[in-house]
Structure 1
Amino acid sequence: MKLIWLIVAVLFGIGELLTPSLTLIWFSIGAVILIFLSGFINSIIMQIFLFAIISISLLTIATRKMVKKDENHKYNTNLQAIISKRGYVKKEILPNKTGIVVLDSEEWTAISFYNEVIEQDASVEVVKIEGVKLVVKYATNE
């Protein structure tokens, strides 16, 4: 029976390698545990029952831990990384009009956060992004 559980473990391990999620590995671990337990338990039905309980328990516990860890993770996309960056105004920003801001040597269309005039060559900070436009304000000296 130990050989059967070893084959089951290997098959689930191969299945795990072919999938992008951590799901089948817990069944592989359950089968490895049953390799040892099968020496003490003769009933095949009891072994299958224990395999199911152990594997599903491991899957449930691991999934809950991963979901809880993932809840507090803040994903940083490229656009989110731009917020709070500083640049300078290449083309003056007028109220209700767009101007051009240079940020890390890239030119962006920008509008003023306070709907005010921001003069050319002024240092600005990105407050947020609206569509494809940066929303900027005068940079504060820190």
Structure 2
Amino acid sequence: METSFRFEQAVKKLYQAFHNNTLIPECNKQCAVGNILNNTDAWKHFSDSHGSLQLNYIGLVNENFGRRFQGFKPSELLQIEATFLKACGFQLPLNYRNKRPTNLADKDVLFKGLSAVVALLCQLDNIPNIMDCSVLFSFKVEDHFVKPV
């Protein structure tokens, strides 16, 4: 399967952050998008709230000028971050009143977020979801033998 450079780089950075314990949902530099953008937080100025999908003036200007960050449009970056936070169990947008997971360092919580982001990255690049393992468990029964589909 052929993938884009932006996809390869994003997955590599997220994988490294996950295994190095530097994938931190509430930190703008170490969340999903922060890691994709080399641990910078300039992307946070594209919306008024962390986890929002609504571009603000700065985000719209960058989007309309066709600006890309590590290959992603500002709207795509907001979508990636919102997907990550939601899958981790946050109520969006992020603020002190909304629901959040009790243990942010829990690898299961972070893996759910990581899996959701990788699925979204696949969707953005129009490739099959590499996280979908259901094909491995698809079987067809023929003549008393079980054969993989």
TM-score between the two structures when normalised by the length of structure 2:
0.22
Question: Which structure's CA Rg is the greater one?
Answer: 1
Query: Relative to total residues, which structure has the larger strand share, 1 or 2?
Result: 1
Q: Which has the higher contact order (CA 8 A, sep 6+)?
A: 2
TM-score between the two structures when normalised by the length of structure 1:
0.23
